[in-house]
Amino acid sequence: MSIDIGSDSIRISVEDQNDIWSERSVIAMYRRTDGKESVLATGIDALDMWQRVPSDIDVVFPFNSGGISDFEAGLQLLRHIFVEVQGRLLWISPKIRVAIHHSASTGDKERYCQLLLKSGAKKVSLVNRSFAAAMGAGVPVDEACGYMIVNIGASTTEISVLALDRVAHFSRIHVGGNMMNKAIGSYLEKKYEILISSFEAERLKCEHIQAVYKKDETQIVWVMGKDTQTGLPKRLEIPLWHISRSVGPTIR
Ligand SMILES: Nc1ncnc2c1ncn2[C@@H]1O[C@H](COP(=O)(O)OP(=O)(O)OP(=O)(O)O)[C@@H](O)[C@H]1O
Ligand SMILES: [Mg+2]
């Protein structure tokens, strides 16, 4: 079994199966009166609860910027995911390959291994994420020619140049899809006095963003949110290119 643990999504591929299994990296935990926590929901079901639940329910994103921000919540989430992925084969402890970025420290690597071993893995091995991405895309990384691999995630972007089966260059910046969502939200708040939810920002980004755009006032999109002054629901029509423009500084 191979796994990529992202801050937005966890992806798993199981040998001899063509499909990639994917789940959002979120868990909802109910804090009981005795101080213990029990799992209420994981993945997309937990994400649905985000910002909508009472204070005794924690909706946690355990993985952040390529690291583990909440070990215990991450452990619970992975255990639930492995139960779903393995189904009736649960009694078999899997050997797991985990994708990890090129500049991960020894401490980071140990934490990932610990996490997966505690989640039920029999053996854990580490795979360089840039090579995994290149191979998945069919890039001939053994050639005497540099190939640039750019992996834009939710919280980080990893850029590597691969040649002759080696990493010739690697850099990692804390810019990704989440920052684009925030940029869309702030732009609309400033320009149109509308507060939008993170779900609305995500929708606008995925449905409408263009890295190269024309200032065309005829193409319009609908935006739903709250008026910043009155707090009342607000629905606006705005030119589509404004959405693209709002993420310009993040992309640059
Ligand atoms: N069609 C799309 N257009 C723009 N952005 C998209 C689209 N589809 C997904 N995204 C964005 O991609 C990001 C998720 O990418 P990915 O699943 O690779 O992240 P991740 O691996 O979990 O994060 P990270 O590697 O940063 O920890 C999210 O921010 C999501 O909004
Ligand atoms: Mg990723």
pLDDT tens by residue, the chain, 252 residues: 999 999 999 999 998 888 899 999 999 999 888 888 899 999 999 999 998 888 889 999 999 877 899 999 999 999 999 988 887 666 678 899 999 999 999 999 999 999 999 999 999 999 999 999 999 999 999 999 999 999 999 999 999 999 999 999 999 999 999 999 999 999 999 999 999 999 999 999 999 988 888 898 999 999 999 999 999 999 999 999 999 999 999 888
- Host H or E run for residue 152: strand 147-152
Burial of 184: CB neighbours in 10 Å, binned 0-12, 13-18, 19+: buried
Going from the Cα of 92 to the center of ligand 2, the distance in angstroms, rounded, reads 27
Class of the domain covering 2-131: alpha beta
Domain ranges of the chain: 2-131, 189-251
pLDDT at 108: 93
Going from the Cα of 104 to the center of ligand 1, the distance in angstroms, rounded, reads 20
In this structure, the residues whose C-beta lies within 6 A of any atom of ligand 1 are: 6-9, 66, 153-156, 176-178, 202, 205-206, 209
Specify the residue with its C-alpha closest to ligand 1, atom 30. 177
180 Cα nearest atom in ligand 1: 29
- Judged by phi (left if over 0) then psi (alpha if -120 to 50, else beta), residue 193 lies in left
- Beta partners for residue 195, in sequence order: 226
pLDDT at 89: 62
Task: Determine the residue type at 26.
Answer: V
- Beta partners for residue 123, in sequence order: 95
pLDDT at 90: 62
Measured between alpha carbons, how far is 189 from 234 in angstroms, rounded to an integer?
12
Specify the residue with its C-alpha closest to ligand 1, atom 2. 206
**Architecture of the domain whose range is 189-251:** Alpha-Beta Complex (3.90)
pLDDT at 251: 85
252: helix, strand or coil: coil
